[in-house]
Amino acid sequence: MKYNRILLKLSGEALMGDKPFGLDTERLAKYAEEIKTVVATGVELGIVIGGGNIFRGLKAAGKGMDRVQADHMGMLATVINGLALQSSLESVGVQTRLSSAIEMDKICEPFIRRRAIRHLEKRRVVIFAAGTGNPYFTTDTGATLRAIEIQADVILKGTRVDGIYDSDPEKNSSAKKYDTISFEEVFKRGLNVMDLTAFTLSNENKLPIVVFDMNKPGNLLSIVKGDNIGTLVTQ
């Protein structure tokens, strides 16, 4: 396998499927099967999920809500998504732990770095919820931080687009896709891969990012095996 320990970042919107809001159980079941296939190869897997399918703090703050409270609500949304994915994974026989940056011991365990790494070594999937536990930080930043802390080989950013393009492929049919691109080139071209804090953190810690289409069956396993899927952002 090309990667031994990976951090998979999924957007909350990805869990909506074709629904306008909330969770699609069919989409969750599909993701659980994809993840199960990867775990069966012996790869250690951590997951971070956004909360945009339930609540988006930044959007609410823009409409007059206190930003700190709005972000806390967004963090709670990621815990709901984490519980949903945990249930789906365990229903297909994948051992899972839900770890939250905000302590809520009746629901999940608190994030303790050494404990999380031990879970991974025992081939348990660890879902990291509640972002960084602090307002003003996105789940992209939370994912990057956790990836660095658990010493992941790569961040796999699962989206609905099959990589990074020089313009929006959903609006421009002649948009050019990059197979590989450097951090410096992304900065220079102003491409939208992650928010700037997360992206800078990845660059400073020499942590590569692969942006790929999570909804295409088999893509996740192909990347782990080393196939040229999506776009690799590297030094």
Q: Any bridge partners for residue 177, and if so which?
A: 165
Mean pLDDT along residues 133-149: 97
Helix (H) or strand (E) holding 140: helix 139-149
Structure confidence by residue, pLDDT tens digits, 6-19? 999 999 999 998 89
What is the pLDDT, as a whole number, of residue 170? 80
Percent of the chain with pLDDT over 90: 87
Mean pLDDT along residues 133-142: 96
**End-to-end CA distance of the chain, in Å?**
21
What is the pLDDT, as a whole number, of residue 172? 86
How many CB atoms are closer than 10 A to CB 169? 16
Q: How far apart are CA 147 and CA 202, in angstroms?
A: 9
Q: How far apart are CA 50 and CA 77, in angstroms?
A: 8
Give the position of tokens 């997951």.
47
What is the pLDDT, as a whole number, of residue 39? 97
* pTM score, whole prediction: 0.95
Mean pLDDT along residues 142-169: 94
What is the pLDDT, as a whole number, of residue 35? 98
**Which amino acid is present at 28?**
L
Q: How far apart are CA 31 and CA 215, in angstroms?
A: 8
Q: For the chain, list the domains and their CATH numbers.
A: 5-234 (3.40.1160.10)
Q: How far apart are CA 102 and CA 77, in angstroms?
A: 12
Percent of the chain with pLDDT over 70: 100
Whether the per-residue pLDDT at 183 is higher than 90: the answer is yes
Q: How far apart are CA 23 and CA 76, in angstroms?
A: 15
Please give the structure tokens belonging to residue 167: 């313009």
Whether the per-residue pLDDT at 1 is higher than 90: the answer is no
176 DSSP assignment: P
Structure confidence by residue, pLDDT tens digits, 20-77? 899 999 999 999 999 999 999 999 999 999 999 999 877 888 888 999 999 999 999 9
- HSE, CB side, 13 Å, CA atoms: give it for residue 34: 23
